[in-house]
């Protein structure tokens, strides 16, 4: 599919991956409407950090993904939807699961129903590697069983299956995009890499973390964004679930030590109990297969982990960026 002359809606445009996706789409001169979360301050999240020259290329729609009426209004005259809006914090999902049901499942249903009624040409629904739970085999391909090890992952599993049902029941042109552990500039303080970097850059010598043994497949955000775009362009992705992964893994402890070695080799890691997930909820191993995405799209990994890490650290070194983070508390 040629994305030129198509009108594109990005939900969750004010967030981490969403803002990078919007930025890349407007750099490539696509017509983009950014769906941002309505609030009384008219805050557009990370889009507020864009220069006016970029913002002038965007149409901004403020709404709430949980409201089917606003979603329908946002989708008028839209050809392609990148649906990224979601609640993603795992610890928050332990005590407020209703919010995750409403946002992740009902919000996705709203997108699918409106897209069906308005004849949208392609809908990309964002999943997560967390739906797989702890790997039963590696590399994890798209046929791996789903395991709901947190209320967050359970709602993402639900959203995936709702999307699949609309493809099977109504022939809705849906693709399910499943990024593994994306990292980079603008990532939430709830994620491990910003947690480590912000503590180190703020002068801490004891870096507080949770479990150090789980492994993750770390994908730099620019590679993730490229994956979204290539999945949108490919005619072979409709009705498919597609991983975006590097097909490698690193433990949290090893990852932390690499960052420490770059910023302050004298720093030490300490485990803080509050940061530990319940034992059966911790995803111990994520190591994704990228065989499918490289076979049916033109995507390929461009950034090594170290390359992405260096760019991320440089971004955080900017005091204006670092000051946006509450590094001295555990961010749920």
HEC-encoded secondary structure of 27-56: HCCCEEEEEEECCCCCCCHHHHHCCHHHHC
DSSP state, 131?
A: G
Cα distances (angstroms) measured from residue 94 to each of 76, 99, 147, 149, 258: 36, 11, 16, 11, 30
**pLDDT one digit per residue (tens) for the chain, 332 residues:** 999 999 999 999 999 999 999 999 999 999 999 999 999 999 999 999 999 999 999 999 999 999 999 999 999 999 999 999 999 999 999 999 999 999 999 999 999 999 999 999 999 999 999 999 999 999 999 999 999 999 999 999 999 999 999 999 999 999 999 999 999 999 999 999 999 999 999 999 999 999 999 999 999 999 999 999 999 999 999 999 999 999 999 999 999 999 999 999 999 999 999 999 999 999 999 999 999 999 999 999 999 999 999 999 999 999 999 999 999 999 99
Position 169 scores a pLDDT of 98
Helices (H), the chain: 16-27, 52-55, 68-75, 90-95, 97-100, 107-117, 151-170, 192-201, 221-233, 252-263, 291-296, 305-317, 319-322
Position 113 scores a pLDDT of 98
Q: What are phi and psi of 54, to 5 degrees?
A: -80, -40
Under a CB-based contact definition with an 8 Å cutoff, are residues 302 and 219 in contact?
Answer: no
Q: State the angle between helix axes of 107-117 and 68-75 in degrees (0 to 180), rounded to the nearest 10.
A: 40
CB proximity list for 186: less than 8 A, separation 6 or greater: 16, 19, 20, 46, 49, 221, 315
Q: Which domains can be identified in the chain, with CATH numbers?
A: 7-183+219-248+284-303 (3.40.50.720)
Position 64 scores a pLDDT of 98
- In terms of phi and psi (left: phi > 0; alpha: psi -120 to 50; beta: otherwise), the region of 42 is left
């Amino acid at each position: 599919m040629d994305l030129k002359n198509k009108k594109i809606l990005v939900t969750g445009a004010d967030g981490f991956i969403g803002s990078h996706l919007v930025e890349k789409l407007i750099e490539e001169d696509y017509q983009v409407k950014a769906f941002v979360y309505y609030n009384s301050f008219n805050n557009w999240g990370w889009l507020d950090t864009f220069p006016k020259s970029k913002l002038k290329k965007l149409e901004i729609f403020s709404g709430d993904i949980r409201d089917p009426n606003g979603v329908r209004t946002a989708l008028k005259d839209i050809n392609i939807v990148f649906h990224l809006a979601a609640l993603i914090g795992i610890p928050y999902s332990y005590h407020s699961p209703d919010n995750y049901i409403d946002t992740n499942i009902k919000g996705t249903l709203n997108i699918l129903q409106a897209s069906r009624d308005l004849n949208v040409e392609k809908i990309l629904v964002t999943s997560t590697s967390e739906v797989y739970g702890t790997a039963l085999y590696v590399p994890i391909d798209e046929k791996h069983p789903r395991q709901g090890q947190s209320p967050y992952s359970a709602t993402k599993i639900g959203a995936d299956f709702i999307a699949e049902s609309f493809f099977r029941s109504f022939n809705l042109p849906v693709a399910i995009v499943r990024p593994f552990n994306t990292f980079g500039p603008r990532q939430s303080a709830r994620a491990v890499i910003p947690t480590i970097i912000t503590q180190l850059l703020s002068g801490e010598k004891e870096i507080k973390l949770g479990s150090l043994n789980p492994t993750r497949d770390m994908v730099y955000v620019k590679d993730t964004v490229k994956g979204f775009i290539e999945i949108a362009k490919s005619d072979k992705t409709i009705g498919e679930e597609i991983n975006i992964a590097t097909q490698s893994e690193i433990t949290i402890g090893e990852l932390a030590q690499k960052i420490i070695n770059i910023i302050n080799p004298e720093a030490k890691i300490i485990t803080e109990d509050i940061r530990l997930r319940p034992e059966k909820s911790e995803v111990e191993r994520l190591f994704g297969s990228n065989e499918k995405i490289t076979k049916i799209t033109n995507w390929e990994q461009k950034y090594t982990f170290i390359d992405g890490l260096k760019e991320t650290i440089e971004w955080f070194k900017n005091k204006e960026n670092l000051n946006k983070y509450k590094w001295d508390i555990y961010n749920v």
